[in-house]
Structure 1
Amino acid sequence: MLSMGGDQVEEAVAHAAKVLRAGVELDWSVKAGGLDWSCLKTAEHIAGDLVAYAGQLTGRAKDSYVPFEIAFDEGSGPEDAIRVIESTGGLLSAVVRTTPPGVRAYHPYPSGSADAVGFAAMGVAEVLLHTYDIAQALGVDAEPPAALCEAVLAWLFPQVPPARTPAEQWATLLWATGRGSLAGRPRLDKWRWHNALSIPAGRVVLREVSPASAADLAAGGTGGLTWIEGGPFDGTRRAAEMVTKAYASGVHRPEWGMFALVRVEDEVAIGGMGFHGPPDEEGVAEVGYDLAVGARGRGYASEALAALSTVALTRPGVTALLAVIEPENTPSQAVVTRAGYTRISDREGNQAYLRRA
């Protein structure tokens, strides 16, 4: 799996320190490439992001940023700035490693919160990209390790068609953040990353599965989750394979892929639920779900499907959600009925159910 955590934060910071020390004797009062800040102010921004992300997680911020910031001491120079980046990077990496599973803290994009992996990915992105901004102005090389770029893209930019080769990872990340051009793709003047959604559903929570986690699940791994005995079930792995293929083909759309069903009481994953893809031209999206045998018959699927459907039907352009179920699968038919779906005409010998917006 494309890992993202404390190790990746440390790797990004070590890369930044090496790049920036190559220009430590140069003029850091000039504007960083593409920004209105000076190189020194941009370095202060990097450090501020790193410590702010750590503070969000340790403070368990719910609905706003923790109200503090850092500033370099008056008279600080380039070497001082690099040392502060190293120090604040160490804080974030330590916090990411020690934050319990399931903990989320406030961040506005896209749904108001992110988990430790999300904050690690955002920290790595800020370090790599703003180091590049400074390096542009100083005239030093700033290309980071390809694996770091690939991980940031998979965790934060699932809507971006992935790079075809390791050599293209950095160029793709620069393009995705409005800093470069790629053949066959229009240059971006607006961009935003995507933190995986978390949707509460009573006794369970639906966690959006990133392309990185989906690839691991499809290959027989855990996707970074702790699973109930017997899980993940075959349907969950097939759904993960669908996400993996869609991402590789450049057609994956965040929020319209797969979610893991995780029990709130113990952070154990019990199944998967999600969509076969984004809505069609009529605004209809098809849903599917799969629970491990040990979690069936307890109402988890109905709670999760009701919550996911309610959220999905509020999205622009969505008119209805469709579930298609084999005639003999009476437990699944009961699930959709309890979740507010109504029987409609059969589809190719299978029972079909619809829930309208």
Structure 2
Amino acid sequence: MTDLVTERLVLHRLSIGEAEALVAGMPAGGVHRAPEYPTDGDVSAAKRFLRSCTEGSGARHPGAYEIRRRDDGCVIGGVEFHGPADEDGSVTIGYGLVPSARGRGYASEALAALLAFARENGITCVRGDADHGNVASQRVMTAAGMRLVAEDARVRYYETAWTETPAT
């Protein structure tokens, strides 16, 4: 398993055992966590990851990641693919930070790294959404390079799509 490293963050790819421990509420085994971590969203993401790994169609799940600051290793949130890419190469993402880490650009930085990883690994489209009132999440997706593609009475839908894969 390879972690994704950005200027200020390490996106640590959860193993199945780490995801199981997160769901069970077990300590992180020497990893420093922000006091608010894990959030309900982080636990839900770990459950989704585990379900996909055990009940999936056999397609490889691209991962669920803890967001850790590089300077102190503290876990401040998570970013994840909701499951393997579908038959068209599309996948949905989710992310979240603990309240004390918000407003510093960490979520946009993490999401941009996840988008680059997706493209490098043959995913052709990444989708995300946010309620109309969740302006912060809308800004995160825009800052990471996603664009608004639709909206309904409650939700705005964003995506990034590539028509060609990067040169290797």
TM-score by length of 2: 0.88
Q: 1:353 aligns with which of 155, 158, 165?
A: 158
Asked if structure 2 preserves the Cα contact closer than 8 Å seen for 1:274 and 1:288, the reply is yes
Deviations 1:247-277 (A, max 9, x none): 3325575552310101100111100101001
Q: Is the 8 A contact 1:199 1:207 kept in 2?
A: yes
- 1:293 maps to 99
More off after superposition, 347-356 vs 291-300: 347-356
Give the Cα–Cα distance (whole angstroms) in 1 for the partners of residues 60 and 97 of structure 2: 22
Displacement of 1:308 in angstroms is: 1.1
Instruction: Determine whether 1:332 maps to 2:137.
Output: yes
Contact (CA 8 Å) 2:53, 2:61: kept in 1 or not? no
Where relative contact order (Cα < 8 A, 6+ residues apart) is larger, the structure is 2
In 2, distance between residues paired with 1:211 and 1:253?
A: 16
1:273-332 deviation per Cα after TM superposition (whole angstroms, max 9, x unaligned): 01001111221110100111111111101011101101111222x211101111111101
How far apart in 2 are the matches of 1:281 and 1:222?
37
Cα gap change, 1:223 to 1:214, in 2 (>3 Å) = farther
CA contact (8 A) 1:271 1:289 kept: yes
| Structure 2 residue 22 is the aligned partner of structure 1 residue 217 | yes
Q: Give 1 or 2 for the bigger CA radius of gyration.
A: 1
Q: Measure, in 2, the Cα distance between the counterparts of 1:265 and 1:344.
A: 36
Distance 1:203 1:265 in 2: 7
Contact 2:52–2:61, Cα closer than 8 Å, also in 1 = no
Tell me if the contact between 1:243 and 1:252 (Cα under 8 Å) persists in the aligned partners.
Answer: no
Q: Distance in 2 between matches of 1:295 and 1:255?
A: 27
The separation in 2 between residues aligned to 1:249 and 1:297, in whole angstroms, is 36
TM-score (norm 1): 0.43
CA distance in 1, matches of 2:101, 2:61: 24
Question: Is contact 1:229-1:294 (8 Å) kept?
Answer: no
Alignment-derived partner of residue 166 in structure 2: none
For the residue of structure 2 that corresponds to 1:226, the secondary structure is coil
TM superposition shift of 1:245: 2.1
In structure 2, runs of 5+ residues without a counterpart are 163-168
1:135-191 CA-partner distances (Å, limit 9, x unpaired): xxxxxxxxxxxxxxxxxxxxxxxxxxxxxxxxxxxxxxxxxxxxxxxxxxxxxxxxx
The answer to whether the 8 A contact 1:217-1:240 is kept is: yes
- State the secondary structure of the residue aligned to 1:313: helix
Hey, what's the Cα distance between the residues in 2 that align with 1:315 and 1:247? 18
Q: Which structure's residues are more often helix, by fraction?
A: 1
| CA RMSD, Structure 1 to Structure 2 (Å) | 1.8
Which one of 208, 211, 215 corresponds to residue 13 of structure 2? Answer: 208
- CA change 1:329–1:249 in 2 (3 A) is same
Identical-pair percentage = 34
